[in-house]
Amino acid sequence: MNPLQLCLILSSLLFCIGLAGALARSNTILVLLGIELMLNAANLNFIAFWRYGPHAATGTGVVFVIFAIAVAAAEAAVGLALVIAVHRHRKSVRLQDANTLKG
Amino acid sequence: MTPALFLIALVLLGSAAAAMLSRNLIHSALLLVGAWAGLAAFYLWAGAEFVAFAQVLVYVGAVSMVVLFAVLLTRQGATAAPVEFDSFKRMIVGLIAAGGVAGVLLGAIAGTPLAISAHPAPAAISVKALGAQLMGPHAAALLVVGVLLTVALLGAVIIAAIDQPEDPAP
């Protein structure tokens, strides 16, 4: 098994841990953290393919990961602001309690 | 080289799994900081130093603080009440779905002949070359990211702001 496959297996397991957390927990913050883990797994894939790919000198994978980190930071900020807004209206952070659009 | 990868994988997957299983939100957030630091270690191992330091700055430094703020602002009551798995069925279904996805992905990885390039250790890309890449071919994307971050910051402030009723006119 070559190192690229090891990296991809690591990334898959990280993705599945994030997926299990996002599906099985009902706390909104934990769901958001699970989604962050899935995003990180995708970044890990980019770096692995950049490292073992044929065009490592161009650095396209690194540039893509930098943009993905920027977008993930924006997503985390907006998502946690939404969590706080929902908590203010519902007094709860459970997903089951936020089931209507009209606040 | 490979033992380091196994050590990093152990730290990364262990702290991520413990964070997702933990009943205490603060513990989850702090364990995720460990997972993000492990990911930064993986980036260092793979030779992407700039991404590793960006990961430390953005995730270990900033996102973890935002998460801790959100945890503290949304806690109910004075006690640190445990966050239970409140639905057994939901937990089982989530684990089955994640296990199925893991099976499919691992099967696909094991069954694909992945050819890695002949040069085993390419020279790590320098920050200067990375800056030339960002300001040259990817300059438009860099501007769009700047606009995106500004809009996300303003949106987060507006969403989370307390909408107090207007003061009556004096």
pTM (predicted TM-score): 0.88
pLDDT below 70 — which residues of chain B?
1, 76-86, 117-123, 164-170
Give the mean pLDDT of chain A.
Answer: 88
Q: Residues 20..59 of A with a Cβ closer than 8 Å to B: which?
A: 20-27, 29-30, 33-34, 36-37, 40, 43-44, 47-48, 50-54, 56-59
Nearest chain B Cα to A68, which residue?
B145
Tell me, what's the pLDDT at B168?
63
Q: What is the pLDDT of residue B159?
A: 87
Residue of B87, B90, B141 lying closest to A67 (CB–CB) = B141
The whole-number pLDDT of residue B77 equals: 58
DSSP letter string over chain B?
-HHHHHHHHHHHHHHHHHHHH-S-HHHHHHHHHHHHHHHHHHHHHHT-HHHHHHHIIIIIIIIHHHHHHHHHHT--SSS--------HHHHHHHHHHHHHHHHHHHHHHHHS--PPPS-SSPPPPPHHHHHHHHHTTTHHHHHHHHHHHHHHHHHHHHHHS--PPPPPP-
Residues A49-80 have pLDDT tens digits of 888 888 777 788 899 999 999 999 999 999 99
pLDDT of A25: 86
Closest CA to B129 of B46, B49, B58, B53: B49
Convert the pLDDT of each residue in B94-111 to its tens digit: 899 999 999 999 999 988
Any chain A CB within 8 A of the CB of B103? no
Going by pLDDT thresholds of 50, 70 and 90, the confidence category of residue A101 is confident
Report the percent of chain A where pLDDT is more than 70.
98
The whole-number pLDDT of residue B39 equals 94
A30 vs B contacts (CB less than 8 Å): 20, 25, 28, 83
B97 neighbourhood in chain A, CB within 8 Å: 19-20, 23
